[in-house]
Homo-oligomer: A and B are copies of this chain.
Amino acid sequence: MNYRRLGRSGLQVSELSIGSWVTYGNQVDHNLARESLAAARDAGVNFFDNAEAYAGGKSEEIMGQAVKELAWPRVSYVVSTKFFWGLNEAPNQYHTLNRKYLMNAIDGSLKRLQLDYVDLVFCHRPDPNTPIEETVWAMSDMISRGKALYWGTSEWSADEIRSAWDIAERHHLHKPVMEQPQYNLFHRRRVENEYQRLYEDIGLGLTTWSPLASGLLTGKYRGGVPASSRAQLQGYDWLRKEVTDADKNEIVGRLADFAKELDCTVGQLALAWILKNPHVSTVITGASRVEQIGENMLAREVAQKITPEVKEKIEAIVGDSYD
């Protein structure tokens, strides 16, 4: 496994990492979670991504229990959580980044995770109804109090990230060091264009999510939505719509043909392509099955075959069919 600096910070994260979005708690049982984490760590993964809202808090509980049973030294792994959605639809408890919510949320997460601190804590979305300054103070205070080591954002605009950074600099607070954006062959503009000046100016690091575009880039939706798929679940209409886009599935077909030439699956190709972006610190991958982890890890070898020419070919197949 290669380790990369999280942006300009000194923290080292494995270039492939594991996320748990609706995975643990909903579909995967407790033992499976522990096995998945153990397998990932054996493969060299040191970063495990989490959020308060994943599976309504259960994701954190299961990860916390599994890590405890595995008895890893605390310094050897990096765990995150994220705040914004909240667990209850009530004032100051959801869709907010106000001080009251954030201060309460971190304590809840640490309890569920059975940890003294998380390594990374993210503002899961921007909140137009809280001044960025209030949020920056609260996030910085989490670090000052030893409840988190680094903080960052997820799906914030470049302008919002810079605003947060500048407020922290001006008020001598802990600055945001990373952003968690969606990034894959079908979703590129924010990472490749909008954030461009932030990499040099503030040393922004990226922990990217949805590397396979909700599974679209595995090719498994080319023939429709399988019965066992998450996209069949109630409340996932948006996902169903996204992964059954005809034009994109056609492109996936051509990417799959090209992947064969490189002796890999289209999913591995899609992951490997992300690894070639030097601004990406770590690619968060899913892990609903233990074998999936091993398959994803192979993307690191595929990445070695992605020369500038190969990269150009991949991007030519996608054309401008991306956000």
Contact = CB atoms under 8 A, between A and B. Distances in A.
A163 B197 contact: yes
Interface in A2-31: 3, 5, 8-14
Contacts of A227: none
How many chain copies does the complex carry? 4
Chain A interface residue count: which class?
Answer: 35 or more
Interface stretch (A53-61, A137-145, A270-278): A137-145
A244 to B, nearest CB: 21
Contacts of A194: 157, 159
B163 A92 contact: no
Contacts of A137: 174
Contacts of A101: 10, 75
Q: State the majority secondary structure of interface residues on A.
A: mixed
A131 B129 CA distance: 24
29 contacts: A3-B91, A5-B129, A9-B99, A9-B131, A10-B99, A10-B101, A10-B127, A10-B129, A10-B131, A10-B135, A11-B98, A46-B91, A74-B104, A75-B93, A76-B92, A78-B92, A99-B150, A100-B119, A100-B149, A131-B203, A137-B174, A157-B158, A157-B159, A158-B158, A158-B159, A159-B161, A159-B194, A162-B166, A166-B166
